[in-house]
Chains A and B, each alone.
Chain A
Amino acid sequence: MAKILFVEDEPALQKALGEMLAEEGYEIVQSLDGETALRMAKSEKPDLILLDLILPKKDGFSALEDFKKDPDLKNIPVLVLSNLDRVEDIGRVMSLGARAYLVKTSYQLSEVVQKIKDVLG
């Protein structure tokens, strides 16, 4: 059973996507800000990280950099979910090594779940 770390500060989205993924059989670990994201990634060793970009305490960009610098974490695939869609943001995230960038309002829940299934194989 694959473990997913979901980094998102909005509880309603944690609930919606989290429950959908739990139904699909994944184990969900929640993080509500950029600082705890790193701690939880190290302690829980997830198989996939879902990362929002606008987060309290430390933003998603810095968190992503931290993940990729850490030898234990750098091979975990990261899917970025965000509301931003500027070319600079997408470029920055992809060059930092994220697997994909999804704009939340452009995807239905079921489509996000499908993308996650595709990445986890």
Chain B
Amino acid sequence: MFCRNTVSPEQVSVHESEKSLSLSSRGSETSAQFLRVVSGYPLPHILLRNLCYNILMFPECKKTGLRLWQCPPFLFIIMGVVTILSMVATYVLASRRADEPQIAALIVAGVAAFLFIIGNLIINSFNRIAEANRLKSEFIYIISHQLRSPLAILKWTLDMLEHRLNKTSSYSLAENFIYTLRNSSEYLIRLADSLFEINRFESGSFVLKKETMSLVDLTREIVNIFIKYAEASNKKISIEEETNFSTIAADKARLGLVMSNLLDNAIRYTSGAGDIIIKISREGPNLRWGIKDNGVGINSEQQKHIFQKFFRSTEVKNEQVNGSGLGLYIAKQIIEASGGKINFSSQEGQGSQFWFTLPVVGSDKPS
């Protein structure tokens, strides 16, 4: 690689990068030389370096999740085309006043240089955004990994502590403390897991492990896990199955996570007694999974933010101070990556309805 893929490609030699000169026009070369003569600044070297660097950045755009119109190398090509076209146009116009050809050349050179410089400035700022985005993902990855090491120690040492104390009479004294420690550490572990998951969405390395499964069966499994918690919080959960056929192809663990998030929210954000109804029905080629609660609801102004990362509505914050605000964001990513749609409706003080649809496997079968 003659252009190193680092932020400071100073070692690019002008000789090797002449291969990429074809993209820049003769005119800008003349103008560059003109400017160098004037300012003594090694402009061509810098320009060629940027050219090399920008072209090689193309696959980086996909990695950092930039769209084509945000991608610096693509923009650079567009800029090059614009530069050439405007130069040709200026030349044509200037040659109409053919008495002093030097003036024409100067105008052409000036415009070309101007556009090229502006272009480079814009592209550099885009490069900075792309780099910041990539650093952010890397930062999240490093932090979540750093969190996991001590969390693993905490988890296993706690397991060992419980194991040892179980055989002694001191267990009952320690039981509550162990329970508290475990809850806190599991919360942190889930948070680190969520951060890893989000990083996966953002860097495009998110892979679904699809298997054929029954939506109804998974629902029953998840409800089973939450049933004690629901009872303890005085909530009743009921499942209404309005279709016999609920086979889908989905990542079971992740879909289970989505259902857990939605069910957890329904239980958690209803104060006092509550009824939670999960309805599974057929809607054309899709299955619709809906959950309805009569809880605190979501303020209409805040509704548009509900699926955003780290967002927690005021009603929810009043109910419970802790919560990462990541659950619905992750749920949306998973459902959309699985080929479905997720949405909700809510009335402040009355409750919320969340639902998602997923395509049925073998959707020509009757419901």
Bound pair: A and B? yes
Q: Do B149 and A10 touch (CB < 8 A)?
A: yes
B168 to chain A, nearest CB (A): 15
B156: which of A16, A83, A87, A88 is its contact (CB, 8 Å)?
A16
Q: Do B205 and A105 touch (CB < 8 A)?
A: no
**Chain B residues numbered 186-205 whose CB sits less than 8 Å from any CB in chain A:** 189, 192-193, 196, 200, 205
Given known pairs A10-B149, A83-B145, the reply for A19 and B160 (CB within 8 Å) is yes
Chain B residues contacting A87 (CB-CB under 8 Å) are 200, 205, 207
Among residues of B, the one whose C-beta sits closest to the C-beta of A18 is B160
Chain B residues contacting A13 (CB-CB under 8 Å) are 152-153, 156
Q: Do A12 and B148 touch (CB < 8 A)?
A: no
Listed residue (A83, A104, A105, A109) with the most chain B CB atoms within 10 angstroms of its CB: A105
Instruction: Label chain B's interface by main secondary structure.
Output: helix
Q: Do A108 and B155 touch (CB < 8 A)?
A: yes
B163 within 8 A of A: yes
Q: Do B148 and A88 touch (CB < 8 A)?
A: no
B230 to chain A, nearest CB (A): 24
B151 within 8 A of A: yes
Among residues of A, the one whose C-beta sits closest to the C-beta of B156 is A16
Chain A residues contacting B153 (CB-CB under 8 Å) are 10, 12-13, 16
Q: How far is the CA of A89 from the CA of B189 in the complex (A)?
A: 20
B243 within 8 A of A: no
A54 to chain B, nearest CB (A): 8
B196: which of A12, A19, A85 is its contact (CB, 8 Å)?
A85
B157 to chain A, nearest CB (A): 5
Listed residue (A10, A83, A86, A108) with the most chain B CB atoms within 10 angstroms of its CB: A83
Q: Do B159 and A88 touch (CB < 8 A)?
A: no
Q: How far is the CA of A121 from the CA of B298 in the complex (A)?
A: 54
Chain A residues contacting B189 (CB-CB under 8 Å) are 105-106
Chain B residues contacting A88 (CB-CB under 8 Å) are 205
Chain A residues contacting B152 (CB-CB under 8 Å) are 10, 13, 83, 104-105
Q: Do B159 and A86 touch (CB < 8 A)?
A: no
Among residues of A, the one whose C-beta sits closest to the C-beta of B199 is A86
A100 within 8 A of B: no
Chain A residues contacting B151 (CB-CB under 8 Å) are 105
Q: How far is the CA of A88 from the CA of B163 in the complex (A)?
A: 35
Q: How far is the CA of A15 from the CA of B163 in the complex (A)?
A: 13
**A94-120 toward B: CB 8 Å interface, digit per residue (1/0)?**
000000000011101110000000000
Among residues of B, the one whose C-beta sits closest to the C-beta of A23 is B163
A16: which of B160, B196, B205, B207 is its contact (CB, 8 Å)?
B160
B148: which of A16, A20, A83 is its contact (CB, 8 Å)?
A83
Listed residue (A10, A19, A104, A110) with the most chain B CB atoms within 10 angstroms of its CB: A104
Given known pairs A10-B149, A83-B148, A84-B145, the reply for A104 and B205 (CB within 8 Å) is no
Among residues of A, the one whose C-beta sits closest to the C-beta of B209 is A87
Chain B residues contacting A83 (CB-CB under 8 Å) are 145, 148-149, 152
A38 within 8 A of B: no
Q: Do A105 and B163 touch (CB < 8 A)?
A: no
Among residues of A, the one whose C-beta sits closest to the C-beta of B153 is A12
Chain B residues contacting A50 (CB-CB under 8 Å) are none
A76 within 8 A of B: no
| Extra inter-chain contacts (10) besides given A20-B160, A86-B205, A108-B155, CB under 8 Å | A10-B153, A13-B152, A16-B157, A16-B159, A17-B156, A85-B196, A88-B205, A106-B189, A109-B160, A110-B159
Chosen A-B contacts, 17 in total, with CB atoms closer than 8 Å, are A10-B149, A12-B153, A12-B156, A12-B157, A15-B160, A16-B153, A16-B156, A83-B145, A83-B152, A86-B200, A104-B148, A105-B151, A105-B152, A105-B192, A109-B163, A110-B159, A110-B163
Chain A residues in the interface with B (C-beta under 8 A): 10, 12-13, 15-17, 19-20, 83-88, 104-106, 108-110
